[in-house]
Chains A and B, each alone.
Chain A
Amino acid sequence: MAIDIVVVLIPGLILGIIFGFILQRGRFCMNSAFRDIILLKEFKLAKSVALTILVSMLGFSIMSFAGIITLNPKQFAWGGNIVGGLIFGIGMVLAAGCASGTTYRVGEGMMGSFIALLGFAGGAYFTKFGVLNPIAKTLQDNTKITNPDGSALTLFGDLTPIFMLIIGIVGIVIIGYFWIWRELRAKKRENKPLFDFSNFGHKTFKQGWHWAVTAIAIGIVACFAYVSSAAAGRNYPLGITGGWVGWNKFWNTGVDSALGWETWLVIGIVIGAFISAIIAKEFKLRTPKHAKTIVIQFIGGLAMGFGAITAMGCNIGNILSGFPLLSLGSLLSGAFIILGCWLMAYLLFMWRKD
């Protein structure tokens, strides 16, 4: 076996298990986060996503200044970013979960998400190596813009690391004041204890986590993931798409080298979510009530796969990991993922109804 167990397999798997556990406890899904802003006017998950990005941004910049990691933002290719992002966003509404949401829900026993995942892995594989590759490649190659030295465009150029530090700190302070402090103050007014550590085990393992706890936990995992992933030769923080593409490549070609750090991470996510769901008594093998739903979820998964490769990242690669690095490509992809999500959510759930 050419797989390095100590540097690649075990760290990837362990971080995946922790990540999956947090995703399941925090019900952390970007599809829900973005969609609920317009659909249910519910902002908890959106707040969680915002804080996760800021914690990661601060962590990455500190680690970069300390020389622990080398920042490696994704490239900018507006054609791929726009088209891929939009199709990914549309796809995740149909699949009823983003790349991370779909992955962790497999661990909860949701068969619909498992089918969506098959579509996602297949769609991504065919776009990376198969028939759909020319479309993604044409979109990317003809619109790619880099710095003169070939490095990726970021929002503030050479000053990006220092801006990451500033935005990270300022952003966390703003969120802390406007959202967390106000929540605490409202609690105080009702004479409830600010931090209630009674039943700590029950709250940790049996109930959903507070959005800020989830966000800080994922931000910390993202920092460890960056170091661990870089040590395994993949200089980038968390990602999902590459992991499932890797498994697909391994099944199709049998090449051990396809099983990189990210492939163990995604398997870990499923295991972590499974453990978390079992402990909370939330694991149940369940198929969607209507057969039509499964077909729609599969099609959504396929669209997500195509979109993720074309946009050079899914919601994890581009938003969770790419936004903190202030990559222009990731920011553009992320904006169109959100637009695609809103467009599809509007058409499916809001148009001519209510």
Chain B
Amino acid sequence: MVDVTDKLDCRGEVCPYPDVKSKRKAKKMNSGEILEILIDYPLSAERIPETMKSMGNEVLSIDKVGVSEWKIVVQIK
């Protein structure tokens, strides 16, 4: 298990808030820190990892943790 620095719960947020909030959060975090994002919106499950990668961060895992629920773990670079 990695040590999660910060968590972001975007369940119940409509498009594109999960993406916008994750992006803002990731920008504020320091290099090496781990961000865990919880979402329930299918499009964001594919789009957030893409956005994180294009920001230069490393996507450690994308897990489907329930019905229409995903946990994305990102390491900030």
Contacts and interface: CB of A to CB of B under 8 A. Distances in A.
Interface residues of B, number: 24
A36 B47 CA distance: 10
Interface string A20-45: 00001001010110011001111010
Contact of A293 (B14, B16, B45, B69): B14
A262 interface: no
A313 B64 CA distance: 38
A22 to B, nearest CB: 14
B15 A108 contact: no
A27, A41, A353 pick with most chain B CB within 10 angstroms: A27
A185 interface: no
A208 to B, nearest CB: 5
Contact of A40 (B11, B13, B23, B40): B23
Given A284-B67, A289-B11, A40 B43 contact: no
A343 to B, nearest CB: 15
B12 interface: yes
Given A282-B68, A353-B24, A27 B16 contact: no
> Which range contains the number of A residues in contact with the other chain?
20 to 34
Nearest to A31: B15
B56 to A, nearest CB: 13
Q: Tell me whether chain A's interface is mostly helix, strand or loop, or mixed.
A: loop
26 contacts: A24-B42, A27-B46, A32-B15, A39-B19, A40-B19, A40-B47, A42-B47, A96-B15, A97-B15, A108-B42, A109-B68, A110-B14, A208-B42, A280-B42, A281-B68, A282-B67, A282-B68, A283-B67, A286-B11, A286-B12, A286-B40, A286-B68, A289-B13, A297-B14, A354-B24, A354-B27
Interface of B: 11-16, 19-20, 23-24, 27, 40, 42-43, 45-47, 50-51, 54, 64, 67-69
Interface of A: 24, 27, 29, 31-32, 35-36, 39-42, 44, 96-97, 108-110, 112, 208, 277, 280-284, 286-289, 293, 297, 349, 353-354
